Amino acid sequence: MTFPPSPLVGRFAPSPTGAMHLGNARTALLAWLHSRALGGQHLLRFEDLDSGRVRPWAYDVTRRDLEWLGLDWDAESRQSGRLDVYAAALARLTRAGETYPCTCTRREVLEAIQDSAGAPHGAEPVYPGTCRARPSDPQRPAATRWKVPDQTVCAHDSLTGETLCQHLLREVGDFVLQRNDAVFAYHLAVVVDDALTGVTDVVRGADLWPATPRQVALQWTLGFATPRYLHVPLLTDFRGERLAKRGGAPSVQALREAGEAPGRVLAALARSLGWDVPGAVQAAELLPLWRGHLSAAGFLPKSQT
Ligand code: GLU
């Protein structure tokens, strides 16, 4: 019997807000290696709900970058084409009395946080639930917030072995599922998409690890299975700061157009993970290294590497 049980479905979910930089490319590589090393399907999902941030050219550039690196996919979707699916999930929560409209402005929310006993917790301000009890103002556009469970929810990472538990009401607060400009929030869309497209394994950047318990809680409430999570470290620059599309990090497109060889870029990405590879490699040559990495992490029995 193989482990994990097939069929495995993995995905890479870029936001088409700019050109992929090397950090995005490394996450894309690892997500692809995971799907393919374990004989799974691999999905490409453009997370493009926030139309104000989307750059229309970025879809095509991302596809070309992935193809250039030799990272293929079996199916492609765009969140902007699936609004009815998110609306249906939100309607289910609303019918169950799980949501409430909220017309607080950002400033009012911040003031409420300052006034509340539960002042900001850690890096993230906790919404104190002001609109839960207060009727919303029909004159203003309303966001929809989720009444998060008053309990501790834990997420497990299958790669790092870490478990992260958060008391959602105290540490996160009721979060927005649909903004007041009707844009569905990332947490709702990602949970709905992963579930409805049969994703079993989520390989993504470690920046999303702190948000995982709230996604797990949404899965429970919507009756969805929780996929396996594997968070991978973000690539940092020489100062140790994570690369950002806005920060002028080298884009894959620039390297591609400058005539760089994709094998050298893949080799550099593999070396940044501490893997010992020659100066140029093909993506498929890295499959055994990822399997080895999974075995070392205890994800895969040693016999399968
Ligand atoms: N779209 C997110 C990003 O580009 C990734 C979301 C996810 O993998 O869950 O950072």
165 in a labelled binding site: no
Q: Tell me which of 9, 11, 12, 15 to substitute to probe ligand 1's pocket, judged by most ligand atoms within 8 Å of the beta carbon.
A: 15
Position 124 scores a pLDDT of 67
Position 242 scores a pLDDT of 74
Residue 260 CA to ligand 1 center (angstroms) comes to 27
The verdict on the CB of residue 14 being under 6 Å from ligand 1 is yes
Residue 127 CA to ligand 1 center (angstroms) comes to 23
Position 137 scores a pLDDT of 80
Measured CA to CA, the distance from residue 126 to residue 278 in angstroms comes to 48
Position 125 scores a pLDDT of 78
Residue 37 CA to ligand 1 center (angstroms) comes to 21
Map out the domains of the chain with their CATH numbers.
9-80+201-208+224-304 (3.40.50.620), 84-187 (3.40.50.620)
Rg over CA atoms, the chain: 21
Position 119 scores a pLDDT of 44
Position 58 scores a pLDDT of 98
- What string of DSSP letters covers 104-134? --HHHHHHHHHHSSS--BTTBPPB--HHHHS
Residue 65 CA to ligand 1 center (angstroms) comes to 17
Position 118 scores a pLDDT of 47
Q: Tell me which of 24, 27, 34, 47 to substitute to probe ligand 1's pocket, judged by most ligand atoms within 8 Å of the beta carbon.
A: 47
The verdict on the CB of residue 15 being under 6 Å from ligand 1 is yes
Position 302 scores a pLDDT of 67
Residue 204 CA to ligand 1 center (angstroms) comes to 7
Measured CA to CA, the distance from residue 146 to residue 153 in angstroms comes to 15
The verdict on the CB of residue 194 being under 6 Å from ligand 1 is no
Q: Is the peptide bond before 56 cis (omega within 30 degrees of 0)?
A: no
User: Can you read off the two tokens belonging to residue 151?
Assistant: 């309990």
- Which tens digit of pLDDT belongs to each residue from 167-190? 999 999 999 999 999 999 999 999
Low-confidence ranges of the chain (pLDDT < 50): 1-2, 118-122
Helix, strand or coil for residue 278? coil
